Amino acid sequence: MFLLMRLELAERLVCPAAHVRTPLIVIAEETQDRELLRGTAGCMVCMREGRIRDGSLRFVAAQEGAAVTSTTRRDDLRGAGVGVAIDDDQLFRLVALLGLGEAGLPVLLAPSYAAAASPLVERQEAMVVVFGVDAAGPRGVAYVSGCHDAVPFADGSFHAAALDETMGAAAAADAVRTVRVGGRVMAAAAMPLPPRLRELARDAQHWVAEVEAPAVVVPLRRA
Ligand SMILES: [Zn+2]
């Protein structure tokens, strides 16, 4: 079974630009079962647009004053873990740390975990999004790129996320926002914990943490 950008996830896309969080309007050109193969995702507020090809989403640079993206290019994919094999022990560890006991859960992966994307789709039927890598395929994985420090998904879209240092602090914090409250986030031990995480465990390689509810600002009411 090949899963591409699942419609469940496409429906949760939000604009990565710095304005009020706004759902993207997705126009599907080609779908297959519950998978979106080809289409366009656009923002009605700032007209930012993303192209969906082979189930992967790449945001087009905004016309003027566009910041240079920190997206990992195809040339860097080997370093990013694409095409690098992951062994069973590593995969088992990842599944355990991310709490992917059930099949079919949505997972966000940073570039250095890209090698795990296909195995997670094949073994766990996970819905996998790899952030910050401009690539199409291997089939079954949605790559999302061209969106700088913003992870273009609504709050709580993912069951779990694996972060890395290539994301930077802003992108890491935004990734935490896209994981549901109580969901798992993990990263290499050297990476500082982004806000809103409660550390659950740590060893020489990784830490794993749980997403806490966002702080609620209670407005003071005038008597
Ligand atoms: Zn926008």
pLDDT digits (tens, 9 = 90+) for 111-157: 999 999 999 999 999 999 999 998 876 667 899 999 989 999 999 99
Q: Give the Å distance between the CA of 58 and the centre of ligand 1.
A: 14
C-beta separation of 134 from 71 below 8 A: yes
Q: Distance between CA atoms of 16 and 170, rounded to whole angstroms?
A: 12
Fold of 69-211: Rossmann fold (3.40.50)
For the chain, percent helix, then strand, then coil, each to nearest 5? 20, 35, 45
Q: Give the Å distance between the CA of 97 and the centre of ligand 1.
A: 34
Q: Give the Å distance between the CA of 21 and the centre of ligand 1.
A: 8
Q: Distance between CA atoms of 58 and 136, rounded to whole angstroms?
A: 10
Q: Give the Å distance between the CA of 173 and the centre of ligand 1.
A: 19
Q: Give the Å distance between the CA of 86 and the centre of ligand 1.
A: 37
Q: Is the pLDDT of residue 83 over 70?
A: no
C-beta separation of 125 from 149 below 8 A: no
Q: Where are the domains of the chain?
A: 69-211
Q: Distance between CA atoms of 167 and 77, rounded to whole angstroms?
A: 15
Q: Give the Å distance between the CA of 222 and the centre of ligand 1.
A: 35
Q: Give the Å distance between the CA of 53 and the centre of ligand 1.
A: 20
Q: Distance between CA atoms of 149 and 127, rounded to whole angstroms?
A: 22
Q: Give the Å distance between the CA of 64 and the centre of ligand 1.
A: 14
Of these ranges, 47-61, 111-125, 176-190, the one predicted with the greatest mean pLDDT is 176-190
Q: Give the Å distance between the CA of 80 and the centre of ligand 1.
A: 28
pTM, full prediction: 0.86
Q: Give the Å distance between the CA of 149 and the centre of ligand 1.
A: 14
C-beta separation of 111 from 164 below 8 A: yes
Q: Residues 29-55: what's their mean pLDDT? A: 89
Q: Give the Å distance between the CA of 50 and the centre of ligand 1.
A: 11
Q: Give the Å distance between the CA of 142 and the centre of ligand 1.
A: 21
Q: Residues 17-35: what's their mean pLDDT? A: 89
Q: Is the pLDDT of residue 109 over 70?
A: yes
How high is the pLDDT of residue 219?
77
Name which of 7, 156, 168, 173 is nearest 72 in CA terms. Answer: 168
Q: Give the Å distance between the CA of 17 and the centre of ligand 1.
A: 5
Q: Give the Å distance between the CA of 207 and the centre of ligand 1.
A: 34
Tell whether omega for the bond before 138 is within 30 degrees of 0, i.e. cis: yes
Q: Give the Å distance between the CA of 47 and the centre of ligand 1.
A: 6
How high is the pLDDT of residue 68?
43
C-beta separation of 38 from 52 below 8 A: yes
Residue 36 — pLDDT band, cuts 50, 70, 90? confident
3-state per-residue secondary structure call for 173-189: HHHHHCEEEEEEEEEEC
Q: Give the Å distance between the CA of 9 and the centre of ligand 1.
A: 18
